[in-house]
Amino acid sequence: MLCEEILNNLSEIIENHNKYDIVYTIFSIAKKAIQNKEIIMEEQPNINNEVNQKMATSIFGIFFRKDKTGYLSLSFGQKYLDTYNKNSTPHYVMLIHELKHIFDFYSNKNNFFNSTPKERFYYEFEARKIEYEFIKNYLFGKYKLTKLENYILKSYENDELEAYNIIISKESSTMYQFLIDLEAEYKSKIISKQQIIDKIILKIDLLIEKSNNFLTLFSVYQQNDNHFQNYVNFIRLKTFIKYYDMIIAPILNNCTLELQERIENIYRLIQAHDEPNHLYSLSLENYFEDAIIS
């Protein structure tokens, strides 16, 4: 099968460089699981995205998944297979991402496929860090990189993958990390509930300051060099409220009137600007797809 050929070609890239780093460890564990038939590789699976897409590389469809019977598979979509060639570095980047999820599964068998959205964000972001490590240590200087890999390298250097994560996941790693850090500080009794509220209000005010430049249905179709930054600002606000509700709201129980007014304002802003930002996000996905196809 072609998927076996792809895995073997990735094996050549990794095992011939003698790095023995985290990428090598992840690949070795995942490859062993596949060789032992604990995880089956499939081509052109009939994937129900709503049910099965737990940990998905969003470009072209390659999935590590578990069905209702407990059957584990690494599933290669048609588009991924049709666009593959031996020198296609993006395909290996996407594959190493899914192998990281296999590694995570073996580190947490009981809960990996039952993980919460908060935990899934963590798994996805950590897998993107492995993409970077793989590109930096195994591809850079040895293969002709596409704009996908070059963007990942640049994003890691400039913002620790914030921009890349926003494009692929439509979520902000900096907002997620901000809230996770607050939760950890509270649980460690470093800060109080009131201090959390103060920090949250300050963060919201900084985010809302940028709302005047959010994309609208009119502006999204105009040529403007600021579109991406405006999109980033919106995604940060949207990510903030999503994980605030999951992480911080249960700690506070009942927030102050001052904070509640700001939360309601965030929801109004998201409702008003969600559609144009969604339209813009589709163009960003096409940017990377075009690079891989060409």
- The 10s digit of each residue's pLDDT in 19-53 is 779 999 999 999 999 999 999 999 865 555 544 44
pLDDT band at 201 (very low <50, low <70, confident <90, very high): very high
- 170 backbone φψ class: left, alpha, beta (φ>0; ψ -120 to 50): left
Where is pLDDT greater, at 222 or 160? 160
- Amino acid letter for position 201: I
Give the single-character DSSP code of 213. G
Mean pLDDT to the nearest integer, 164-174:
94
Q: Is residue 207 over pLDDT 50?
A: yes
Mean pLDDT to the nearest integer, 95-105:
97
Where is pLDDT greater, at 59 or 25? 25
pLDDT at 77: 86
Per-residue burial over 96-133, b if 16 or more Cβ lie within 10 Å, else e, is: bbbbbbbbbbeeeeeebbebeeeeebbbbbebbbbbbb
pLDDT band at 226 (very low <50, low <70, confident <90, very high): confident
Q: Strands, DSSP E only, in the chain?
A: 40-43, 55-57, 62-66, 72-76
Mean pLDDT to the nearest integer, 153-180:
96
Q: What is the number of other CB atoms lying within 10 angstroms of the CB of residue 64?
A: 26
To the question of pTM greater than 0.85 for the whole model, the response is yes
pLDDT at 285: 73
pLDDT at 292: 60
Beta bridge partners of 76: 43, 62
The residues spanned by each domain of the chain are 2-169, 173-293
Beta bridge partners of 40: 73
Residues 259/199, Cβ–Cβ less than 8 Å:
no
